[in-house]
Structure 1
């Protein structure tokens, strides 16, 4: 399987929207089942989380880029790891009160829910992108590969 690196903007938007759509459905269904809560509430939390993460991503990376310009550091593996941890800590801080409000949870329980969502996204992101690349190759990529005669 060969991975296409020159995807169109349209395909990249499709990829991102499908990623969020599937994640939101899976999260809402799992939380509703696991926590014995309304699908409406868990779906609202999932949607608000996705929107908050998108806005936070923009703000955080703008601030981080500004800090890098000011401090002049390089993006080493350690800096990238700190970047990822700081992003997730900020996201958890923003979303914990929302989970408390929407799901009627204590601070500690809402914190656990948000940390669980972070842990969900690590394997989900890997699996989603792997499967997306495979199905893209299966339905689109193979047709573009030249047929060789023996």
Structure 2
């Protein structure tokens, strides 16, 4: 298991590196200013963080109510991911359209592009993060091999 400190480092690095990649890419892709895309990036990051906290608590409570546990099969993980992104888009879509003064359709297209970027980014970020900061098994952390010796 990762420690609280490691989870904080993971979240901070994820958001900072994501914004450093997203902002200039979005400026080129959407023909918007750095300031506008920086605000959209920071807003989306903040909204995703808050939504992630709320959504995961609610999702786990629903799973616990209907299934009696919070274990996630692959199909439940797929629903979990899709519903998270749909909920996040519902939150961010009107704000993006309003802030940039664009149509809801244009904001939707932009939001879909942001979602795709962050899905791909999260996949690769987590692989690299796990390589750089591997999880120490409990046996190694406590200096044991996990086997009994006399």
TM-score range, shorter-chain basis? 0.7 to 0.9
Encode CA deviations 1:45-78: one digit per residue, 9 max, x unaligned.
1001011111111111122122122222663221
Q: In structure 2, how many angstroms separate the alpha carbons of the residues matched to 1:67 and 1:132? A: 30
Per the alignment, residue 82 of structure 1 pairs with: 79
Per the alignment, residue 129 of structure 1 pairs with: 126
Indicate the SS of the match to 2:111.
helix
Q: In structure 1, how many angstroms separate the alpha carbons of the residues matched to 2:33 and 2:115? A: 21
Q: In structure 2, how many angstroms separate the alpha carbons of the residues matched to 1:10 and 1:71? A: 33
TM-score, with structure 1 as normaliser = 0.78
1:34 lines up with 2:29 in the alignment: yes
Unaligned stretches of 5+ residues in structure 2: 135-150
Encode CA deviations 1:69-116: one digit per residue, 9 max, x unaligned.
222266322122111111111111111111101222211111011111
How large is the RMSD of aligned CA atoms in angstroms?
A: 1.9
The question of whether the paired residues in 2 share the 8 Å contact of 1:56 and 1:91 is answered with yes
Cα 1:7–1:62 change in 2 (3 A) is closer
1:96 lines up with 2:93 in the alignment: yes
Per the alignment, residue 55 of structure 1 pairs with: 50
Q: What count of residue pairs does the alignment treat as equivalent?
A: 132
Cα 1:93–1:71 change in 2 (3 A) is same
1:13 lines up with 2:13 in the alignment: no
Q: In structure 2, how many angstroms separate the alpha carbons of the residues matched to 1:42 and 1:108? A: 17
Unaligned stretches of 5+ residues in structure 1: 1-5, 138-150
Indicate the SS of the match to 2:120.
helix
